[in-house]
Chains A and B, each alone.
Chain A
């Protein structure tokens, strides 16, 4: 049974989980639109290109995205930051999506709210690869995800 992870997740010790292909984590697109709403709601369809990678505090939710033929990858936020990616924690995302500021700006208030519901519901964090080149991104993925 899932606990209320909003109280228990600690950046210093708890991992984040990502469901993805078995052989490798799919690469983000650092130069794509940095819209958080577009990313969370996947508004260009499956595989929407964004500079973000989604992770969750909950392994079970990450398994949904791994499906039957993928796997759940584990990462530490501190490692992502050391590799050059920004960690955008759940609490910051919720605040941004409520205000609509910065990368959470979006013309539809209800879609922004739907994205906020998803972030809360699935304890979502983002790794943000904006500004990184392809080589640095590839290196980061290899070192961050286990």
Chain B
């Protein structure tokens, strides 16, 4: 899977690593991606990177790739019409895809994210984390409030120490390793995606406007994905879950205790009420 393809972009919430449907959906361009590993665009935000690296790469990539829509990674001879579709009816038969297609359309974005968070299964979680990373960045860029990500913080922390559950039908591609090892690598990738979500929120807390209180200890956290990689160098999901439960979760609880989350939730609700 090409790392700079739509298959690896957080605006395509239907795939991550080797997990997902065999088609994607781009919430920016509102298009079904028929071969997401063969397309890209200048808005690419890579899911396998932290937000700073993803932004850096997007800035480079946007100079050579159009942001108007998905285009072939190898332009010569490709027919772009074959690679995307506007019709979503068949795709929406899948319950996760139905939510992803609906993102930002009928209900508010956060309502869709809440529903994805409540749906069982790894693919729903991938949907929530992919779109959620875009959501918190969008809020941070728009008004420099990291607190808009408080729900996503809470939902992600709630599942942080759970080993993702995957079945063979969750994979859209086979790889060079055995199915058992493919499952482990996919579980590890989802665990790291959770950690990257929390890293993103901490990053936005660092760059938040001065009148947004409550994020100082969160902002002071080191890069959590790097800490995970240094503490658990083996790519083994059970070892990573052990570290998450023994080290990361307590650290996060200290940085942003439940009482502080409750307080922030109250403030966010007031902001929405004032804006309405």
Complex Cα gap A133–B79 (Å): 37
Q: Are B229 and A109 in contact, CB atoms less than 8 angstroms apart?
A: yes
User: Provided the pairs A67-B78, A69-B78, A110-B192 are in contact, do residues A6 and B57 lie with their beta carbons within 8 angstroms?
Assistant: no
Complex Cα gap A51–B229 (Å): 27
- Bitwise interface map of A from 37 to 63 toward B, beta carbon under 8 Å scored 1, else 0: 000011111100000000011101100
Q: Are A121 and B192 in contact, CB atoms less than 8 angstroms apart?
A: no
Q: Are B74 and A110 in contact, CB atoms less than 8 angstroms apart?
A: no
CB proximity to B under 8 Å, residues A4-48: 4-6, 21, 41-46
User: Provided the pairs A68-B78, A98-B233 are in contact, do residues A43 and B61 lie with their beta carbons within 8 angstroms?
Assistant: no
User: Provided the pairs A44-B60, A70-B74, A110-B192 are in contact, do residues A121 and B177 lie with their beta carbons within 8 angstroms?
Assistant: yes
User: Provided the pairs A110-B192, A113-B235 are in contact, do residues A121 and B175 lie with their beta carbons within 8 angstroms?
Assistant: yes
Chain B residues positioned under 8 Å from A69 (CB to CB): 74, 76-78
User: Provided the pairs A68-B78, A70-B74 are in contact, do residues A120 and B177 lie with their beta carbons within 8 angstroms?
Assistant: yes
User: Provided the pairs A41-B3, A46-B4, A121-B185 are in contact, do residues A113 and B77 lie with their beta carbons within 8 angstroms?
Assistant: no
Asked if A1 CB lies within 8 Å of chain B CBs, one says: yes
Complex Cα gap A42–B57 (Å): 9
Q: Smallest Cβ distance from B127 to chain A, in angstroms? A: 21
Chain A residues positioned under 8 Å from B15 (CB to CB): none
- Bitwise interface map of B from 235 to 251 toward A, beta carbon under 8 Å scored 1, else 0: 10000000000000000
Chain A residues positioned under 8 Å from B2 (CB to CB): 42, 46, 64-65
Complex Cα gap A69–B74 (Å): 8
Q: Given B57, B178, B185, B230, which contacts A4 in the complex, CB threshold below 8 Å? A: B178
Asked if A92 CB lies within 8 Å of chain B CBs, one says: no
Closest to B180 in A: A4
Number of interface residues of A (CB under 8 A): 38
- Bitwise interface map of A from 62 to 97 toward B, beta carbon under 8 Å scored 1, else 0: 001101111000000000000000000000000000
Q: Are A122 and B226 in contact, CB atoms less than 8 angstroms apart?
A: no
- Bitwise interface map of B from 167 to 205 toward A, beta carbon under 8 Å scored 1, else 0: 000000011111001100100110010000000000000
Complex Cα gap A123–B177 (Å): 8
Chain A residues positioned under 8 Å from B233 (CB to CB): 98, 109, 113
Number of interface residues of B (CB under 8 A): 43
Closest to B189 in A: A117
Closest to A60 in B: B174
Q: Select the residue from A4, A67, A109 with max chain B CB neighbours within 10 A.
A: A67
Complex Cα gap A60–B226 (Å): 32
User: Provided the pairs A2-B174, A4-B181 are in contact, do residues A109 and B4 lie with their beta carbons within 8 angstroms?
Assistant: no
Asked if A146 CB lies within 8 Å of chain B CBs, one says: no
Complex Cα gap A110–B225 (Å): 6
Q: Smallest Cβ distance from A122 to chain B, in angstroms? A: 6
Q: Smallest Cβ distance from B132 to chain A, in angstroms? A: 19
Q: Given B18, B74, B174, B229, which contacts A113 in the complex, CB threshold below 8 Å? A: B229
Complex Cα gap A2–B179 (Å): 9
Complex Cα gap A58–B176 (Å): 6
Chain A residues positioned under 8 Å from B53 (CB to CB): 43, 108, 111
Q: Smallest Cβ distance from B15 to chain A, in angstroms? A: 13
- Bitwise interface map of B from 134 to 171 toward A, beta carbon under 8 Å scored 1, else 0: 00000000000000000000000000000000000000
Chain A positions within 8 Å of B, measured between CB atoms, are 1-2, 4-6, 21, 41-46, 56-58, 60-61, 64-65, 67-70, 98, 108-114, 116-118, 120-123
Known: A2-B175, A61-B176. 7 other contacts (CB 8 A): A5-B176, A6-B177, A21-B74, A45-B60, A108-B50, A113-B233, A121-B177
CB pairs A–B below 8 angstroms (23 shown): A4-B178, A5-B176, A6-B177, A21-B74, A41-B48, A43-B57, A45-B4, A45-B60, A45-B65, A56-B176, A60-B174, A67-B38, A67-B73, A108-B50, A108-B223, A109-B226, A110-B223, A110-B226, A110-B228, A113-B229, A114-B192, A120-B177, A121-B175
